[in-house]
Amino acid sequence: MARTIAVSGTASGIGEALAGLLRDQGDTVIGIDLRDADVRADLSGPEGRARAVAGTLELCGGTLDGVVACAGVSDFTVLPVKVNFFGAVALLDGLRPALARAGAPRAAVVGSISGTHPVDDAVVRACLDGDEDAALAAAAKVEESGAGGRLYPSSKSALAQWLRRVCVTPEWAGAGIALNAIAPGVVRTPMTTPLFEDEAMFKVMNEAVPMPLNGYAGPEVIAEALRWLIAPANTHMTGQVIYVDGGAEATLRGPELF
C-alpha cells in the first residue's frame, strides 16, 4: 500500500536519493529543502522550521506514514548546530502528531560516524537541554577558538542522544512510532565534494574515517538503509544508530563496544 513520507534535504545527496527510491515504489514523497522541493523552508531558524512543518501538514492532510530528516550541513561554523540538531528535532517534533495518526508510522534521521569523534560538551549539553540560545553561544565560542571542526560532530552526537532518549517515550514508542538513525561514513554528495578536492582535507578525512569495506559510499547506499528503517516491516527496532560506514566505527572504536 502506498504511503506518504516527508523527507528533508531532497534537493541533493541522500535526501534526493531516498525520495527517488520511495517514489519508485509508489509512495508519495513530500520534499522539504531550501530549493527544488514541495516545501521550501530554511531549517536553520524557528521561522523556517515552522514553515516546513506547516507546509508539510497542509500537503499531507494531517497524517504521515513516515518522516526522514536528511537535511544537514557540514562546516566549521555554528550552522550545523542550527540545522543538524535543532532543525531536525523541530521537524520531527512538529510532525510527530501526524505520524501518530498513521497505522504504521516510522521516523528516521541521518546521523554520522563523526558523532563518535571528539565533541564540545557544552554544545551537546545545551542541545539536549533544548536551549538553542545557549547552544549557539557555546558553539560561537568554539568557532572563535579555532576548534570549529568539533561542531559538526557535536550536532550529530547530540542528535543521536536525543533520539535514544525520546524514542521509548509514550509520545514515540507509545504511539507506535519507530525512531532510528543511519550513521554514514564518507558519502559522495555535494556536501563532501570540497573534502575530495582538497588534498590536505582528503588525507585528514581518510584518517578520521577509515572505511575498509568497499570505501566511500554513494548516497543511494544510505538511502536504501533508510528505506528499510521506515518500512512497515520494521516493527520492533527503535533507538538504534546503524553505522553504514564501511567498517569505520568498528575500526575506530574496536570490538569492545557492541
Half-sphere exposure of residue 229: CA atoms within 13 angstroms, side-chain side: 26
Map residue 119 onto helix, strand or coil. Answer: coil
Map residue 252 onto helix, strand or coil. Answer: helix
Half-sphere exposure of residue 115: CA atoms within 13 angstroms, side-chain side: 27
Catalytic site positions = 152
> Alpha carbon of 47 to those of 18, 44, 52, 55: distances in Å?
26, 9, 9, 12
Cβ pair 59, 34 in contact under 8 A: no
Ordered DSSP codes for 226-251:
HHHHTSTT--S--S-EEEESTTHHHH
Map residue 207 onto helix, strand or coil. Answer: helix
How many angstroms separate the CA atoms of 246 and 58, rounded?
39
Q: Which residues contact 235 (CB under 8 A, 6 or more apart)?
A: 104, 178
